[in-house]
């Protein structure tokens, strides 16, 4: 597990490239914010987390599998990840930030993400 990246992952870089090409300017991994969001768009008071489907348990995704060995340990680990994600999200929202989650399996849908960034619809933010 020491080789698992916490930042600058392939999906995260893909989202950053796509945002930059669309004209968005952002900051990366801001330490002063809960959870050090992957992407921070200060102008829009929006943060984006690019979650791996496996580690953050994307519901209904084929990538969110559970290993067969040490199953209890893995379930506990995944549950902690999901709980920490929930807490960080609530704290950010309480501070007035708009929180978007981009799942690893959704990265290729560029147009959808751009639409979500440019609308004030909060229905997506409340899902995860």
pLDDT in tens, 44-89: 999 999 999 999 999 999 999 999 999 999 999 999 999 999 999 9
Residue extents of the structural domains in the chain? 10-118
- The Cα 6–Cα 1 span in angstroms is 11
Q: Which CATH architecture fits 10-118?
A: 3-Layer(aba) Sandwich (3.40)
Bridge partners (DSSP) of residue 28 are 39
- Give residue 125's pLDDT: 47
Report the distance separating Cα 102 and Cα 111, nearest Å: 13
Q: Please provide the size of the chain in residues.
A: 128
What percentage of the chain exceeds 90 in pLDDT? Answer: 66
pLDDT confidence band for 119 (50 / 70 / 90): confident
Tens-digit pLDDT profile for residues 22-50: 899 999 999 999 999 999 999 999 999 99
pLDDT band at 124 (very low <50, low <70, confident <90, very high): very low
Q: Whole-model pTM? A: 0.83
């Amino acid at each position: 597990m020491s080789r698992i990246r916490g930042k600058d992952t392939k999906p995260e870089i893909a989202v950053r490239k796509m945002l930059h090409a669309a004209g968005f300017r952002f900051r990366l991994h801001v330490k002063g914010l809960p959870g050090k969001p992957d992407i921070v768009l200060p102008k829009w008071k929006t943060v984006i987390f690019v979650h791996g489907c496996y580690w953050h348990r994307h519901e209904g995704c084929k990538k969110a599998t559970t290993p067969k060995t040490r199953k209890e340990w893995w379930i506990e680990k995944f549950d902690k990840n999901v709980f920490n994600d929930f807490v960080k999200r609530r704290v950010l929202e309480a501070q007035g930030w708009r929180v978007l989650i981009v799942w690893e399996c959704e990265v290729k849908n560029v147009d959808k993400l751009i639409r979500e960034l440019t609308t004030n619809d909060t229905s997506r933010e409340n899902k995860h």
